[in-house]
Amino acid sequence: MYRQYLTILMIVVFSTIQVVSANTNGVRVATTFQYLADDVSLLLCSGDEAYSIVPVGADPHEYSLTPKDVEFLKTSHIIISTSHTHLERRIYELIISGELNSSLIEVPKLPKVNIRYIPNTNIVNYHAVTYDPDNYIILMETIARELSRLRPECSSTYMENLNKVVKQVEKIKKAVELNNLTAVGSSPLTQYAVEWLGVKVITYLVIDPEAPPTPSDISHVEKVLSNRLATMAVVVDSDSAIDRALNEIAVKYSIPILKIPSPIAPGSTIDKLETIISNYRNLTLKTADIYEREDYMGLTLLMTLTSIIILMYALRRVSTWK
């Protein structure tokens, strides 16, 4: 009777203790967005799992952690965060307080990650940091090392999968020739996607991706594009008012438009980088053609005006002789 009581007591005690460590069932990785879960899935070993806290289609800046989310996080060995939304700040607080015992990987805080600033400001751009391929590799290496630490028996699998990812990214980087171009972006979501290509984003339609463009914003960008101060416009391939507005302005002034996939849409970052490269290569060909035609038209106009001036001068001299 005493032994039965002791056994029941031990079961109750241990069932109330939250232990976050890898086991034979694999490593559980929680991410704040679905695309991060899709990236993590490229590395995993059999029995591991990755899932997103924010449901697909939900506004990440408006979403708040639910009690169910917190319970999921308590069973996760690793949490991956972009470290700038309200829910991600809340996760950090839960880690600091000790309520969560998971390993926290915050993308912008990783060593050697290249963080950019919004043009003409001292505001750090935390949006879509892994659209820079070098930043993406740093993140994936960090995840692979942490997975290996938690589940050493799968270390070779994690590293093999990491090598495949790195080779794909390096292939993407070599697939395009860097150009010294300038662009207007619809919002900070576009910066990391193009600046590694040699395209400098000189201004945005809006700095806050959640705010609609004002008449002043539109007027500013129209001046930039009408005066050809930017080579192209970069928009997210979405139906947002911001991206529609810049698309319309660019069409109005015959400025080439580069569309990039939404960084928070489902799908791995590698697939999105390949889409960006494909769209960019097609666009640079069109851009070169447009400016060659403009240069040709300008030269033709100049030659025509010169001929007219010479002819008028000759006629004037003839009339003087008479």
Dump the DSSP string for 40-73.
Answer: HHTTPPTT-EEEESSPTTS-TTT----HHHHHHH
21, burial (CB in 10 Å: exposed 0-12, middle 13-18, buried 19+): exposed
Query: Containing domain of residue 220, as a range?
Result: 181-295
Same domain (yes/no): 87, 7:
yes
Same domain (yes/no): 27, 7:
yes
Query: In this structure, is residue 50 part of a structural domain?
Result: yes
Give me the number of domains the chain comprises.
2
How many helices (H) and strands (E) the chain has is answered by 10, 8
Same domain (yes/no): 204, 253:
yes
Same domain (yes/no): 121, 214:
no
Residue 113: its pLDDT value, please?
98
Residues whose CB is less than 8 angstroms from the CB of residue 305 and which lie 6 or more positions away in sequence, other chains included:
none
Last residue of a domain, one of 129, 149, 174: 174
Residue 287: its pLDDT value, please?
55
Query: In this structure, is residue 100 part of a structural domain?
Result: yes
Query: In this structure, is residue 311 part of a structural domain?
Result: no
Same domain (yes/no): 43, 131:
yes
Residue 283: its pLDDT value, please?
87
Query: In this structure, is residue 133 part of a structural domain?
Result: yes
Report the predicted TM-score, pTM, of the whole model to 2 decimal places: 0.82
Same domain (yes/no): 186, 110:
no
Query: In this structure, is residue 300 part of a structural domain?
Result: no
Query: In this structure, is residue 313 part of a structural domain?
Result: no
**From its phi and psi, is residue 109 left (phi > 0), alpha (psi between -120 and 50) or beta?**
alpha
Residue 179: its pLDDT value, please?
83
Same domain (yes/no): 11, 120:
yes
Residues whose CB is less than 8 angstroms from the CB of residue 213 and which lie 6 or more positions away in sequence, other chains included:
205, 206, 241, 242, 245, 246
Average pLDDT per consecutive 10 residues, the chain (322 residues; last block may be shorter): 42 36 76 98 98 93 94 98 95 98 98 95 95 99 99 98 98 89 97 96 94 96 97 95 97 97 96 96 65 47 56 59 55
Same domain (yes/no): 127, 28:
yes
Query: In this structure, is residue 263 part of a structural domain?
Result: yes
Same domain (yes/no): 22, 37:
yes
Residue 20: its pLDDT value, please?
42
Last residue of a domain, one of 115, 143, 174: 174
Spatial distance between the Cα atoms of 111 and 119, rounded to a whole number of angstroms: 23
Residue 322: its pLDDT value, please?
54
Same domain (yes/no): 144, 192:
no
Q: What is the CATH number of the domain that holds 124?
A: 3.40.50.1980
Last residue of a domain, one of 174, 189, 224: 174
Query: In this structure, is residue 303 part of a structural domain?
Result: no
**Smallest Cα–Cα separation from 131: which of 151, 154, 114, 106?**
114
Same domain (yes/no): 105, 131:
yes
Same domain (yes/no): 147, 285:
no
